[in-house]
Amino acid sequence: MLYILAENFYAAARRYNRAAMNTATSQAQAIASHWSLQALNTFGIAATARAYLRVSSSADLQAVRANTALSTLPRLVLGGGSNLILSGDFDGLVLHLANQGKRIVSEDNTHIIVSAQAGENWHEFVQWTLVQNLPGLENLSLIPGSVGAAPIQNIGAYGSELKDFFHSLTYFDFLTGEICVVDREACRFAYRDSIFKQELRDRAVILDVSFALPKQWQPNLSYAELKHELTTTVVVAPTAREISEAVIAIRRRKLPDPAVIGNAGSFFKNPVVSKEVHAVLLEKYPQLVSYVQPDGSVKLAAGWMIDQCGWKGKSLGAVGVHEKQALVLINRGGASGADVLKLARAIQEDVRQRFGVTLEIEPVLV
Ligand code: EPU
């Protein structure tokens, strides 16, 4: 059952989201109006949503779809809010995925299939797999956000990407009202990209995600900094748990904790250029940090270029560039979406002028 609570009731409760939330959840899937999103985006931008629904199952989504007043509103699907920049108040319906649960589903000769509901916290899920003695996801430890959001941008870090372990996922299709199951190929994963950022962007709500974890596990130490970290702490071949701890240590050293300093992780993608463009740049900048891709193109370290432009540790109004990683923009207090975009544009312009390369913003802009 779906209740639409009187707008004026929630207007009064606007400044007291917590209290309002308790009321809402106690009345099944209640919809709240003018809901503050500040605590729901890790950048900490103050903005409201015209309507908000905490989603605990696909039945909630079916109910929204069946309600003309709601189904015609613009939608924003929210997980952990860790890859989101709100440019202002959202004049639509926020669907906040809160479904919980994780389990071992099945196994074959080579893999064990595990599944988690979209509302599960990603890092807690990774830690749970390790406790079950199911290695594979350890390089992706401590990435902020939810399980349901992870496939959207094909999260990646320290030599691994989600797609390397992805099995399938279930999503609710707002266009047809159907529940669909898709495999890896259908998701069209690429570097920080998938079909859910493209054709299915305003259509699909991911409900649960399954992973195929290898029975014959091999440590992935392809990322030089991770290998170095482990050689300083572990003498023999590292376990998955030790790799997870090393990744956590590196992340804590270099990246701001969103619970302490508002941020959305890497703010730009690492741009990919042709080998010809790379050769020209390398001649001019012999220190250029770059990674040759399997197809011969070259990925450039955006953080290095931003650093070279002198932005590291600098601020423009309420938004700054992190002191230890120039790819991360941070909220110095009271930042608005417009403040974030102002700094982002200034950085993009400097990098374009100096290196002739366009930086693409990585988080979702709403
Ligand atoms: N660098 C600098 N100055 C800086 C930042 C980086 O010179 O201020 C240099 C580093 O020394 C290094 C290179 O640039 O040689 C790359 O830096 P780093 O290893 O920190 O990785 P990154 O390419 O900046 C990417 C991901 C991160 C992920 C790390 C580790 C993207 C957009 N970002 O960052 O992902 O944790 O690799 O795998 O691909 C995220 O997506 O939110 C995120 C944090």
Question: d(Cα 238, Cα 245) in Å, to the nearest integer?
Answer: 10
pLDDT at 17 over 70: no
Rg (CA), the chain: 21
For residue 194 the two structure tokens come to 């998938």
pLDDT at 140 over 90: yes
- Residues annotated as part of the active site: 192, 266, 362
- Could you tell me if the CB of 303 is within 6 A of ligand 1? yes
pTM of the model: 0.92
- Could you tell me if the CB of 161 is within 6 A of ligand 1? no
- Phi/psi for 137 (5° steps) reads -95, 5
User: Which residues share a beta bridge with 114?
Assistant: 104, 211
- Atom 41 in ligand 1: which residue has the minimum CA distance? 266
One-character DSSP codes across 272-332? EE-HHHHHHHHHH-TT--EEE-TTS-EEE-HHHHHHHTT-TT-EETTEEE-SS-TTEEEE-
- Could you tell me if the CB of 168 is within 6 A of ligand 1? no
- Atom 26 in ligand 1: which residue has the minimum CA distance? 157
The Cα-based distances of 325 to 84, 253, 307 in angstroms read 19, 10, 8
User: Which residues share a beta bridge with 94?
Assistant: 52, 76
For residue 288 the two structure tokens come to 């250029």
For residue 49 the two structure tokens come to 């949503």
pLDDT at 24 over 70: no
Q: Strand, coil or helix: what is 122?
A: helix
170-208 CB burial, b ≥16 within 10 A, e <16? bbbebeeeeeeebebeebbbeebbbbbbeebeeebbbbb
Dump pLDDT digits (tens) for 213-232. 999 999 999 999 999 999 98
H/E run at residue 31: strand 29-36
pLDDT at 26 over 90: no
270 C-alpha to center of ligand 1: Å? 8
Question: d(Cα 171, Cα 116) in Å, to the nearest integer?
Answer: 13
329 C-alpha to center of ligand 1: Å? 13
The C-alpha angle with vertex 363 and arms to 357 and 366, in degrees rounded to 5, equals 115
Contact 329, 267 (CB under 8 A): yes
Question: d(Cα 161, Cα 220) in Å, to the nearest integer?
Answer: 11
- Interhelix angle for 240-254 vs 122-131, to 10°? 150
288 C-alpha to center of ligand 1: Å? 13
- Atom 28 in ligand 1: which residue has the minimum CA distance? 157
Confidence of residue 13 (pLDDT cuts 50, 70, 90): very low
336 C-alpha to center of ligand 1: Å? 25
Question: d(Cα 6, Cα 9) in Å, to the nearest integer?
Answer: 5
Question: d(Cα 67, Cα 61) in Å, to the nearest integer?
Answer: 10
- Could you tell me if the CB of 270 is within 6 A of ligand 1? yes
Per cent of the chain over pLDDT 90 is 89
Domains of the chain from N-terminus onward: 6-97 (3.30.43.10), 102-230 (3.30.465.10), 262-356 (3.90.78.10)
pLDDT at 191: 95
Dump pLDDT digits (tens) for 300-349. 999 999 999 999 999 999 999 999 999 999 999 999 999 999 999 999 99
Mean of the per-residue pLDDT values of the chain:
92
- Could you tell me if the CB of 325 is within 6 A of ligand 1? yes
Dump pLDDT digits (tens) for 124-135. 999 999 999 999
Average pLDDT over residues 152-170: 98
Question: d(Cα 181, Cα 303) in Å, to the nearest integer?
Answer: 37
pLDDT at 7 over 70: no
Average pLDDT over residues 38-59: 97
pLDDT at 14 over 80: no
pLDDT at 353: 98
pLDDT at 32 over 50: yes
Confidence of residue 29 (pLDDT cuts 50, 70, 90): low
**Minimum-distance ligand 1 atom for the alpha carbon of 325:** 8
Question: d(Cα 117, Cα 98) in Å, to the nearest integer?
Answer: 9
pLDDT at 5 over 90: no
- Atom 13 in ligand 1: which residue has the minimum CA distance? 301
For residue 77 the two structure tokens come to 């699907």
Dump pLDDT digits (tens) for 66-118. 999 999 999 999 999 999 999 999 999 999 999 999 999 999 999 999 999 99
- Atom 29 in ligand 1: which residue has the minimum CA distance? 157
